[in-house]
Amino acid sequence: MDIGLKLKLNFKIDKENRKRREKSLKFQLGNCTDDTSDIASFVTIDPISLENIRKDQTIFERLKEFLTMETLDFFRQRNEEEEGDRMRDREEETEEGARKKQKLGKVILVPQTAGPCMTTFDTLLFNTIDMFPTFPLFLFTNKNLDLITTHMPKLKRAKISHLEGKPHVLNLKEMAKWVKEAGGIFHNVDLDFIQWSQAVKNFYQFKCLRDKELGKEAP
């Protein structure tokens, strides 16, 4: 049977059932002499056909006058659920885009010695130190900086929800754990004199660059 015909039949059945319920109520209240309590059954409509009507605006407009209130309420609920899903997907895409943009931030190369060796600082390090003023010194050894720079896209980030734009910064706890697993120094007390000297020099260069970008706002 055509879906349109099924809807028309169900609409008619629903209308007649409402009259039967009204008459039955009057009978129970003593306002009617006849009791009409038998309720007719609806014609079965498969869920796929209903979904096609809900999603196809042309079909919906053609058949909406034969849709019962229950069916319209069901359509409205499904539309709201799908809109909620789309909004969540858009938010996730926006956050993912922001993370990818941060991964492609500028990289500043700072001379480490008079030779060709260069120390690399990723922009995300500058963003992170704004959130964590007591940045661990051990992360600035030559080996750890190389590890961090090379594997920056893999490092976990933390979202700062209370700031405008909800920026993402490096998760220091996860960084220390990752550096440990990668074979680097992961405690300040484990630094020997040479490693400590490297870290202090690199951290000083890092702070100078950060203060230079801040200008008059620099500490």
Per-residue exposure over 5-33, b if at least 16 CB sit within 10 Å of its own CB, e if not? ebbebbbebbeeeeeeeebbeeeeeeeee
Torsion of CA 142, 147, 153, 156, to 10 degrees: -100
- Percentage of residues in the chain having pLDDT higher than 70: 76
Q: Are residues 114 and 200 in the same domain?
A: yes
- Write down which residue in 61, 81, 100 finishes a domain: 100
Residue 125: pLDDT over 70: yes
Q: Are residues 91 and 21 in the same domain?
A: yes
Q: How far is the CA of 36 from the CAs of 15, 19, 20, 130, in angstroms?
A: 14, 9, 6, 77
Q: Are residues 202 and 116 in the same domain?
A: yes
Name residue 51's amino acid.
E
Beta-strand pair 168-170/107-111: unpaired
Q: Sorting pLDDT into bands at 50, 70 and 90, what band is 101?
A: low
Q: Are residues 48 and 110 in the same domain?
A: no
pLDDT at 33: 60
On whether the CB atoms of residues 109 and 118 are closer than 8 A, the answer is: yes
On whether the CB atoms of residues 105 and 122 are closer than 8 A, the answer is: yes
Residue 203: pLDDT over 80: yes
DSSP structural state of residue 139: G
Q: Are residues 205 and 112 in the same domain?
A: yes
On whether the CB atoms of residues 43 and 3 are closer than 8 A, the answer is: no
Q: Are residues 83 and 109 in the same domain?
A: no
DSSP structural state of residue 182: T
Q: Are residues 109 and 184 in the same domain?
A: yes
pLDDT at 115: 44
- Write down which residue in 79, 100, 121 finishes a domain: 100
Q: Are residues 75 and 7 in the same domain?
A: yes
- Write down which residue in 100, 126, 154 finishes a domain: 100
Q: Are residues 96 and 109 in the same domain?
A: no
* Region 87-113 average pLDDT: 67
Over its C-alpha atoms, the chain yields an Rg (Å, rounded) of 34
- Structural domains of the chain, count: 2
Q: Are residues 113 and 206 in the same domain?
A: yes
pLDDT, tens only, 1-42: 677 777 778 788 877 777 777 777 766 666 666 655 566 776
Residue 111: pLDDT over 70: no
Residue 123 phi, psi dihedral angles, 5° rounding: -55, -35
On whether the CB atoms of residues 170 and 125 are closer than 8 A, the answer is: yes
Range of the domain at 149: 105-217
Q: Are residues 199 and 110 in the same domain?
A: yes
Q: Are residues 128 and 206 in the same domain?
A: yes
